[in-house]
Structure 1
């Protein structure tokens, strides 16, 4: 009866659906019946038998429900069909938006900023063209930043008079006493609260080490007079109690948490933890590589991300220098084009980033199948 209903050109969508469910239920029940009793099976086999039996029961129940309510179900299906294209378009837009967000997502950084002038916490976005080495890898990433009237809370840990990396801010790259990194800025501050009273002040030894970085030049570099002590700023305490905000700002930054600090005159102002927007494609390097005179005649172009400008990459890598020299010496476009893959590969390898699944998964257990065998559909631990 199920096959006949499917073959009937005059069958309604509901009748066809009921027939399909009947076939599904019958097939699942048949497969379940072919499997030996659960007592003879491994736990995985027993689970499969149970699942097939469940599918058979559910499909049969659904078929019965549809057959008993053909008119209502048919109306629902027809309504779905009328709106199907609109639904597909909406789903396409939804998943397209998710894909674009995932494609452009970068890890935000979350330092603590103090409202020094009392007019509210202020930040600037990526269009301010500020670069800073948040994660200490020697690469300065384009980043959102504190506005020039407010200040970043910092600790010049190496006492060199400058704030070099995110380890000297208070955020997700701040080292904790136990050797791990802080999950966020307020957690990093809490680790310095020696008496556990929820306030950082003169009674906590680390309080005297903290400074404010008011980046008046807005260049991500510590200029003369930009580092000031909390005492010179008239700040007597930092209050660790905070409120979760997760407020997205128009410039791409996000205020995640907000607390307060107290001045010597007992007034308070806001102290906020921000997830600053970052652009890992737009970078600079903390240490430029000197290009030898012998390489300065070679072709060059700018680098991005963790890849340096081409002549600097040639100074880093003999492979890049060799292929680049061949490229320069080629006399035809076809010869140069044939060298491009080798040149790009050698250039990319200077980034130091893992470029294969095998390299990234070193020391980890992988599961997969033999891609060279079209009939191998099994999943197993890799060697």
Structure 2
């Protein structure tokens, strides 16, 4: 089909994927001089780069083996709708971003076998259910990986996988941004600030808010004047206010996504749900504790299948627990409190320095991960044409 510019169809299914998609779109625009058109499904970050989402991305932000069941019928319908749109558009490439269940559901329903199918963010098959690599090979042609060891793991299993680096190492969070944030919010330079990140999904916030809230109350007794800064995202902002506003401690709930990194930079310590935000805290040189809770049924199903010793990527790459992990039954206020106190009193600086080798292994330095991902997508499209 003859046309003046490339057409790339992107599909993101949750906020972290939307941010990845937005950065990838920006890098593709830069690399092509704007000679690219985007179609697909995405959230605010991708829409800011010109995407008109086929339907609200928030419908796809569901996590957990059990939680997804009540929404299955609607999700299957959205898979069919997305696949039909891809066949109608006939893009130069399909790029699905994380959200593997939805991505697989879309990819296998596409009728046009000539469209290169690229998945961005390797499924963690090295951690659990490695036999599912056969399913990946059936549905996708190429894989863009965030972690340094993933390219070899997938290559050994006949998957074309390219390491592009983790997006968190491409962000710049300067000390000045933290000082400016404090000035905007009336915080003195010597006030102790804790960055609280309870998750970007409804279930995460619901399950973590109680333990996080009680931890903060204990910390305010130990550290009078402590201020909690709570960055959130639009799809859970109301729930975050509902859960944290009634708890009596000094707090600043940050709903502007542009304020998230300055809020991190302004913080002395962090407590965060497991996920990309933990690497962002590391990039901001903020020592932190990671926490997570699943529903009981999902936890036991997951526990039986997981094959890695750590949940946090820093720990996984370094093969030791540099960042304290408070998962499931260990996600309790007294345990969180003890870890945060140690970071504030003595261990914080050492943790920050210990995390640096892991960040370098994930691509810190050189071209940004988004630039490398864009170059890989364009290379794949070029190869498919000849």
Whether these two folds match at TM > 0.5 is: no
The TM-score normalised by the length of structure 1 is 0.23
Higher-RCO chain (CA-CA 8 Å, sequence separation at least 6)? 2
TM-score by length of 2: 0.23
More helix by share: 2
Structure possessing the higher radius of gyration over alpha carbons: 1
